Amino acid sequence: MEERNLTIADIAEELGVSKTTVSRAMSGKGRIGEQTRKRVQEYIEAHHYSPNVVAKGLAQSKTFNLGLVLPGDYQIEELPFFQKCMMGISRTASEAGYDVLISMVTPERITQLERAVTNRKVDGVILTRTLTDDAPMRYLQENGVPFVAIGSTENRQAVQIDNDHKSACRELTEMLLNRGIRKIALIGGSESYVVTRNRLQGFLEAFAVREDWDGEKQIFLNVGDGCRVEEIVEKLLTDRVECAVCMDDFLCGCVLNALQQRRIAVPEQVQAASFYDSCILANRIPAVTSIRFDVEELGRKACELLLRMLDGDEVERHTLLGYEVRMRESTK
């Protein structure tokens, strides 16, 4: 017989044992004599036998697929985050013998995720965004599907992993205030994203511990396009705001473009900072003060948590990873 077509039935027939005995010898589970186990193991090693992953999955009631849920309404500027996150997840899954199945969802439509679960295509799921009203998370919980959420959530039953956005944003804001800034503005995205709320909370906490601060702060949320940023920049210049802090690098890039068009020098006339750092800001002159998170590590850790859950291990419910504040030339 050709070794590449070797099956459990072939091994059983060759050794004069049952297919169940061969399966037990391979898995290490079930009652079987040590001599028989050794005999089967030696045979499969000699013939370089590798079990078919589909057959293995059926035997263990597993698909050896992990679901990865991506937001279908993501902005192109968010792509670097999801690419790095997927890289960490895919590498970790591959090392454990799993493949990754991607589902795209929006807050209003989770059909792809429902189809993957209903057709039993995945053993567990990783969510890459958390929402204040989180339909994908509710669906997975209602259907008993193991999952890990990348991002924070108030759902205490969910296993979640995130970077410590609140502490990072508080620390960066404190550093700016310590440099004597009296007029500061925060520009952020959609309030439906939990990360927006966490970054806002960190920003506000920096002021809460400074009872002596008598400056002025302005906050603009649900900013989603360059036109709105243009309007905000006009107001900031009219109000003589000293520093514009943006919740992400897309908004920061829009602010810098608007300032450049008006020939406003950074940081001499207006300072700028971002609560996130990616390749979008990498080549900016001057270099932008921002916060660096290891996104690939975030994906890797999320996948490790899910794999442990699938193995029946108890895992921590809430994991926070670190960050690095990078003070650069865009702030004095």
Following DSSP, what letter does each residue of 266-291 receive, concatenated?
Answer: TTTT-EEEES---GGGTT-SSPPBEE
CATH number among 3.40.50.300, 3.40.80.10, 3.40.50.2300, 3.10.20.30, domain 65-163+296-323: 3.40.50.2300
Q: Which range has the worst mean pLDDT, 23-27, 55-59, 255-259, 309-313?
A: 55-59
Cα(194)–Cα(190) distance, integer angstroms: 9
**Level-2 CATH architecture, domain 165-292:** 3-Layer(aba) Sandwich (3.40)
Q: Sign of torsion, CA 280 283 286 292?
A: positive
Average pLDDT over residues 65-71: 95
Q: Three-state SS for 49?
A: coil
Statement: residue 264 has pLDDT above 90: yes
Q: What is the DSSP letter of 6?
A: -
Q: Greater confidence, 297 or 6?
A: 297
Average pLDDT over residues 119-131: 92
Is there a contact between 88 and 298 (Cβ–Cβ < 8 Å)?
Answer: yes
- Fold of the domain built from segment(s) 3-51: 434 Repressor (Amino-terminal Domain) (1.10.260)
What is the predicted pLDDT for the residue at 54?
45
Identity of the residue numbered 22: V
Q: What is the DSSP letter of 214?
A: -
Q: Residues 148, 152, 154, CA angle at the centre, nearest 5°?
A: 100
- Closest C-alpha to 87, from 128, 140, 145: 128
Cα(63)–Cα(70) distance, integer angstroms: 20
Please state the pTM of the whole predicted model. 0.75
What is the predicted pLDDT for the residue at 12?
84
Domain ranges in the chain with CATH number 3.40.50.2300:
65-163+296-323, 165-292
Question: Encoding tokens for residue 306?
Answer: 């899910």
pLDDT tens string 290-315: 999 999 999 999 999 999 999 899 99
Does an H or E element contain 118, and which? helix 111-118
All residues at 6 or more sequence positions from 88 whose CB lies less than 8 Å from its CB, including other chains:
295, 296, 297, 298, 299, 300, 301, 302, 303
Confidence band for 108, pLDDT divided at 50, 70 and 90: confident
Q: Sign of torsion, CA 185 191 193 194?
A: positive
